[in-house]
Amino acid sequence: MRHKKREIQDKALIEEIIAKAEVCRLGLCRDGMPYIVPVSFGYDGSRIYFHTAAEGMKIDYIAANNKVCFELEHDVRVIPSDNAACKWSMSFYSVIGFGTVEEITDSQPKIYALAQIMKHYSKQEWDFDAEIVGKTRLWRIAIERITGKQSKDRVGK
């Protein structure tokens, strides 16, 4: 990282950023062509979970290359400058990670993944209809590396 003092190494702060993020962006690659897609997600402290439609571009990319990059951010805002266009800035916390994605096919792990996704957004427990669980495609990212970054106005806070 170019600005070492902006790097977040505190695991608790990284976990907080993930907990407060609303969207996870996946970076995928197939045949040298990148693809970035936002997904709803859940997180259990070591894996990220998401769901997909039965078919589509995400699945095609994952089938070709299960190595992924992911990005999440929280508390993003513009910092304007009244007197110089190039003095505008951003305030943010972000997390970027790398890992391997795999589909979850067994019923109990699928229910667990759905529970993580729903808990992220609703902060409560849910019951899941077996028919819906059977039809839903769920995925997990085994996180291999993760880092955080904060804007210069956040350093030391």
User: Is 92 among the domain residues?
Assistant: yes
pLDDT for 157: 63
User: Is 157 among the domain residues?
Assistant: no
Query: Mean pLDDT lowest for which of 24-28, 90-94, 150-154?
Result: 150-154
pLDDT for 87: 86
Does 137 have pLDDT greater than 80?
yes
User: Is 103 among the domain residues?
Assistant: yes
> How far is residue 153's CA from residue 120's CA, in Å, rounded to a whole number?
27
User: Is 80 among the domain residues?
Assistant: yes
User: Is 146 among the domain residues?
Assistant: yes
Backbone angles phi, psi at 70, to 5 degrees: -135, 155
Number of domains in the chain: 1
User: Is 156 among the domain residues?
Assistant: no
User: Is 155 among the domain residues?
Assistant: no
> How far is residue 62's CA from residue 34's CA, in Å, rounded to a whole number?
12
**CATH of residue 41:** 2.30.110.10
Question: Predicted confidence band at 156 (pLDDT cuts at 50, 70, 90)?
Answer: low
User: Is 88 among the domain residues?
Assistant: yes
Range of the domain at 21: 4-150
Question: Predicted confidence band at 13 (pLDDT cuts at 50, 70, 90)?
Answer: very high
Is pLDDT larger for residue 75 or for residue 100? 100
Q: What is the pLDDT averaged over residues 78-93?
A: 88
Q: Give the closest residue to 68 by CA, choosing from 101, 94, 44.
A: 101
pLDDT for 151: 87
pLDDT for 30: 97
